Amino acid sequence: MKRIISTLLCLITVLSLLSLSVSSADTKSGITFERTKTNGIDHPVGYYNTDKRFEKMPITFEAWVYVPKSIYSARCGAILANYQSFSKDNYVNFEIHSNGVPRLVFGDNAGNMYDYKFSRAPVPADTWTHVAIVYGMGTDGKQIACYINGQLKQKTATSDWYEAPPETLDNMICLAGDYRALNEQAFRGTLGDVWVYSDVRTNDEIRADYQNGPDLADSELMMFYELSKAQPKSDVPDASGHGYDMTYSRYFLTEEEMKAIRAEDEYEYDYVLAFLPDIQYMTQSYPGSLKIMIDFLVDKGKTHNIQYVLGLGDITNANTDGEWATILRQTNRLNGYIPYALTPGNHDGINSGGKEVLDSVYAKKTGHYYQLVRENGGFFDENSVRNTYHTFTVGEVDYLVVVLDFGATDDILAWASDILTSHPDHRAIITTHGYLNSDGTTLDSNDYASPDTYVKTLNSGEDIWEKLVSKHQNIAMIVSGHMHHDTIVCTPREGDAGNTVYQILMDPQSTCKKLGGLGAIGMMYFTADGKHAKVEYYSTVFDKYFCESNKTIKLTFGKDEPEETTAPETEAPITAAPETTTDINTEVIEEKGCGGIISASGIVLILLPLAGFIKRRKVIS
């Protein structure tokens, strides 16, 4: 009888556990992330990211996932991640790789990759599954483990251990994806609840999380996203109460969708400064796309009241005569129509051994661009257009644009300081190629592709801030390219006089790289009095607005300026010379080739096994 009772009790226990398992899995729900095609490019409709950096290092990662059999052999994608498009960066990615293999990968700014894959703990197809990865277990803190449905499936110690530094969290975390161009590794299955702790969870705690969800009373719970209760294509609050809310934004928006967004604007906008970020690939290999950008400026110059076009560097990719001939042909169409400023990038000289082609084309003293600069500003060197300044007036606002070469040296910064000092009543805008990183901080010697990592005598972004930008009260903004990023990045910073300087990054060069890029123009709209502005990306190639999140980039200037000003009347534009090329990418340019790309590495490597599931390579795939 005792044996029968014991057997019954065991059976009841098993059934109870099975019941918990069923209730934990079969009733789960989450979000399947919609995908679409734009100009033949497959991509998610939108993306999720925080606007707050994590204050602690995530140690235990947990999520409910559903991986459909139809995509099982492919890479399912990122769950929580902050990988950018650079191999030399600090990052962490929690994801499901191919064949349902859970994966945690770290990278550092030396290009090393610490890749922990759990090939013996795959997530099954077509089944809701709880997956947890715990990093830093064991008495020495150098073990990592993976749990499936509350059960420990794989644990290992490794000599290839990585102690993730605080800089790992510099790039803010994304949900269901990372920062690759157009969210290339977005989660392709269905994602349920996701949560993270900042400590090592025990076996019992992981089992309890599987059965009951996260422990909201645990002080080490960092964030909790209840995707089981969330609506698709909507913001996801952090249910832990710590404020790491995820904002949802769409990638491409039509004119009608933008009108709905603009209806919420507090101000009416009157004129535009247009920014052209990193057009190098179009110049080199997609001249038809470059033509479309200039078509837009010519067509909208009057209707949008575009006052100036400001380049942000990397005008060419390989700095060849043929590429510069292509650029000259297009900028000539703006002559006498919209004034413009050329900003050199690293691909316009340093990357080609310092070969000087820009000046041979644009520093001709009888040429239109040289005359434009001479009549409205001036030069650091009368024989070069690499460092120039431009003045113009819109309404009652006098503008000063100072163009600095890539990593401008101390003597150039001293010249720029003199120009800024001699124009105290002008609202100053600085354009330079390498200044702001994609995480919103200024580039320094510890950052990949900082100017001083190319040549030691060049100044980094932080050097330019300390030596120049922070010291002049009339500087309103500094705008740069170089560090590619889908969205516009804006970091306000206080200067020495208490003034606000908007540090802005625009560079979607790797977005839709297969088509040569978006042909994106950063349109900065100003109110008639010049006191308020906002920024939008317009993709001329796709004929759509890019990245809904950019609608939040709003700027305020000149609190002491006159209350009422009017925009100047604009003369009828001089008719631009028609461009005969009609095929988008058939124009012949000389010396066409790949060229070295230092600032934008989208390399994909096939990862080979090392010590079981642990891998380490220079570039994340």
**Whole-angstrom distance, CA of residue 450 vs CA of residue 193:** 38
The answer, yes or no, to whether residue 337 has pLDDT greater than 50, is yes
Average pLDDT over residues 105-109: 90
Closest by Cα among 252, 302, 184 to 518: 252
Q: Where are the alpha helices (DSSP H) in 236-382?
A: 255-262, 280-285, 287-300, 321-331, 358-362, 368-376
Closest by Cα among 191, 218, 188 to 206: 218
Q: Are residues 405 and 512 in the same domain?
A: yes
**Whole-angstrom distance, CA of residue 553 vs CA of residue 548:** 10
Q: Which of 114-128, 146-160, 264-278 has the lowest mean pLDDT?
A: 146-160
555 strand-pairing partners: 533
The answer, yes or no, to whether residue 600 has pLDDT greater than 50, is no
Q: Are residues 86 and 185 in the same domain?
A: yes
Q: Note the pLDDT tens digit of each residue in 434-490.
A: 999 999 999 999 888 999 999 999 999 999 999 999 999 999 999 999 998 999 999
Q: How many domains is the chain partitioned into structurally?
A: 2
The most confident of 21-35, 136-150, 221-235, 604-618, by mean pLDDT: 221-235
**Whole-angstrom distance, CA of residue 582 vs CA of residue 589:** 15
Residue 543's region, left for phi above 0, alpha for psi from -120 to 50, else beta, is: left
Q: Is pLDDT larger for residue 484 or for residue 516?
A: 484
Q: Are residues 195 and 311 in the same domain?
A: no
Average pLDDT over residues 17-31: 55
Domain at 154, CATH number: 2.60.120.200
Residue 273, classed as helix, strand or coil, is strand
Predicted confidence band at 351 (pLDDT cuts at 50, 70, 90)?
confident
The most confident of 166-175, 304-313, 607-616, by mean pLDDT: 304-313
pLDDT at 590: 35
Cβ pair 154, 134 in contact under 8 A: no
Predicted confidence band at 607 (pLDDT cuts at 50, 70, 90)?
very low
**Where is the domain boundary, 250, 273, 297?**
250
The answer, yes or no, to whether residue 555 has pLDDT greater than 50, is yes
At 95, the amino acid letter reads E
Q: Are residues 159 and 305 in the same domain?
A: no
The answer, yes or no, to whether residue 8 has pLDDT greater than 90, is no
Average pLDDT over residues 349-368: 92
Mean pLDDT of the chain: 86
Q: Note the pLDDT tens digit of each residue in 113-137.
A: 999 999 999 999 999 999 999 998 7
35 strand-pairing partners: 44
Establish if 118 belongs to a structural domain: yes
Q: Which two tokens stand for residue 546?
A: 């890019």
Q: Are residues 242 and 290 in the same domain?
A: no
Average pLDDT over residues 196-221: 96
Give the residue numbers spanning the domain of 205.
20-250
pLDDT at 515: 79
Establish if 170 belongs to a structural domain: yes
pLDDT at 32: 95
Average pLDDT over residues 520-545: 95
Q: Are residues 380 and 239 in the same domain?
A: no
pLDDT at 164: 87
pLDDT at 4: 54
The answer, yes or no, to whether residue 320 has pLDDT greater than 50, is yes
pLDDT at 121: 97
The answer, yes or no, to whether residue 5 has pLDDT greater than 60, is no
Q: Note the pLDDT tens digit of each residue in 175-192.
A: 999 999 899 999 999 999
Q: Note the pLDDT tens digit of each residue in 292-314.
A: 999 999 999 999 999 999 999 99
Task: Write the DSSP string, 430-442.
Answer: EE-SS-B-TTSSB
pLDDT at 30: 95
HSE toward the beta carbon, residue 338, CA cutoff 13 A: 31
Q: Are residues 286 and 368 in the same domain?
A: yes
The answer, yes or no, to whether residue 574 has pLDDT greater than 50, is no
pTM, 2 dp: 0.83
pLDDT at 111: 87
Average pLDDT over residues 50-73: 95
Angle of helix 203-212 relative to helix 2-25, nearest 10 degrees, comes to 70
Give me the phi and psi of 366, to 5 degrees please: -100, 0
Cα 265 from chain centre: 25
**Whole-angstrom distance, CA of residue 595 vs CA of residue 589:** 14
HSE toward the beta carbon, residue 11, CA cutoff 13 A: 6
The answer, yes or no, to whether residue 620 has pLDDT greater than 50, is no
Average pLDDT over residues 360-380: 97
155 strand-pairing partners: 145
Establish if 265 belongs to a structural domain: yes
**Where is the domain boundary, 531, 556, 581?**
556
Give me the phi and psi of 488, to 5 degrees please: -75, 135
Domain at 432, CATH number: 3.60.21.10
Average pLDDT over residues 146-171: 88
Predicted confidence band at 7 (pLDDT cuts at 50, 70, 90)?
low
Q: Give every CB contact of residue 79 below 8 A, 6+ residues apart in sequence.
A: 61, 63, 65, 94, 95, 96, 175, 176, 187, 191, 194
Establish if 305 belongs to a structural domain: yes
Q: Is the dihedral of CA 457, 459, 463, 468 positive or negative?
A: positive
Establish if 568 belongs to a structural domain: no
Establish if 567 belongs to a structural domain: no
The answer, yes or no, to whether residue 541 has pLDDT greater than 80, is yes
**Whole-angstrom distance, CA of residue 56 vs CA of residue 79:** 18
HSE toward the beta carbon, residue 510, CA cutoff 13 A: 24
Q: Which two tokens stand for residue 400?
A: 């000063």
Task: Write the DSSP string, 124-176.
Answer: PBTSEEEEEEEEEESTTS-EEEEEETTEEEEEEE-SS-----GGGGSSPPEES
191 strand-pairing partners: 31, 65
Establish if 3 belongs to a structural domain: no
Q: Are residues 234 and 266 in the same domain?
A: no
**Where is the domain boundary, 215, 250, 285?**
250
Q: Are residues 291 and 159 in the same domain?
A: no
Cα 389 from chain centre: 29
